[in-house]
Amino acid sequence: MNMIEAINSAHDVMMECDPDTVVMGEDVGYFGGVFRATAGLQKKYGKARVFDTPIAEGGIVGTAIGMATYGLRPVAEIQFADYIYPGFDQIVSEAARIRYRTAGEWTVPLTIRTPYGGGIFGGQTHSQSPEALFAHVAGLKVVIPSNPYDAKGLLIASIEDNDPVVFFEPKRIYNGPFDGYYERPVTPWAKHPKAQVPEEHYTVPLGKAEIVREGEAVTILAYGTMVHVALATAEAEGIDAEVIDLRTIVPVDIETIEASVKKTGRCVVVHEATRTAGFGAELSALVQERCFYHLEAPVARVTGFDTPYPHSMEWTYFPGPVRLGMALKKTLED
């Protein structure tokens, strides 16, 4: 499966085994979603369980919260992460707070799926990476898969979770892994081992990172598309880097990070989002707090710039192998 098919399969599995699971969002029903992640679900499960909504993200999220508090497990799709802001107040002020406000009497088993990130020439309104905004909010879980196998397992785990989850899908890798070498032909998922996705139910636990490449010289912390950029850069530069795919940024698997950095003594964090107050800043602080006496060099960050995402200079903004390679070499020289 590619990532779209894996996400569709996760929906299908959960709707088959749990009649309380419903899917809602703009064009998710008859049309199957703008990226076809919900294709065929309305035909199979009916309009009462897979339904289109108005173009009103605040209404989508607010309605989904109400459904969740009364026992359903809604999966709400926000068509692009750039459009999530009208629903931000509902997510932060309601979904994230209800468990605490009711002393645990009510829960909000809500999953909000949304494609995010650049690499598709979407410009400033179709390329944003707002994950750090949600990571800052107590009561939310934030999940970002990097491959089809994890996408299905993490999405099922998110739907089954009794707390609200914001599930960011890196749209640049929907149809194949992307290593940042934009001038090369696209590689389909079919050639990748993580495309071997079981048809049946399985979960990938939230809050557990994966070491996707073992190494001794430096630790690279990444998620989403940047996992593939990190792997390709380490290979191209001949660097003995350990690459960690965080998979979930809240809760973050600090134990795996700490063990790796204490082993390598160096750490580079890479993400697409803007630099200032990006999630890389939190990771850098965590590494410094827990691994200070093991660090041989300052923690480095390779990120997007503090500007809106540019259309005409996409690959300058995108944290590709050139910028990551420079950061790795500098970290190893320090």
Q: Which residues are catalytic?
A: 57, 126
For residue 113, the tally of other CB atoms under 10 A from its CB is 28
d(CA 12, CA 125): 30
Task: Read off the tokens for 28.
Answer: 């998710």
Kindly report the backbone phi and psi dihedral angles of residue 183, in degrees, each rounded to the nearest multiple of 5, phi listed first: -85, -5
Contact 268, 290 (CB under 8 A): no
Closest to 43 (Cα-Cα) out of 65, 72, 12, 74:
12
- The sign one gets for the Cα dihedral 119, 121, 124, 127 is negative
Contact 154, 145 (CB under 8 A): yes
DSSP-assigned letters across all residues of 163-225: S-EEEEEEGGGSSS---S-TTSPPPPGGGSGGG---SS-----TT--EEEE--SSEEEEE-TH
Burial class of residue 221 (count of CB atoms within 10 Å of its CB; 0-12, 13-18, 19+): buried
Q: Is the bond leading into 251 cis (omega within 30 degrees of zero)?
A: yes
Closest to 239 (Cα-Cα) out of 304, 137, 324:
324
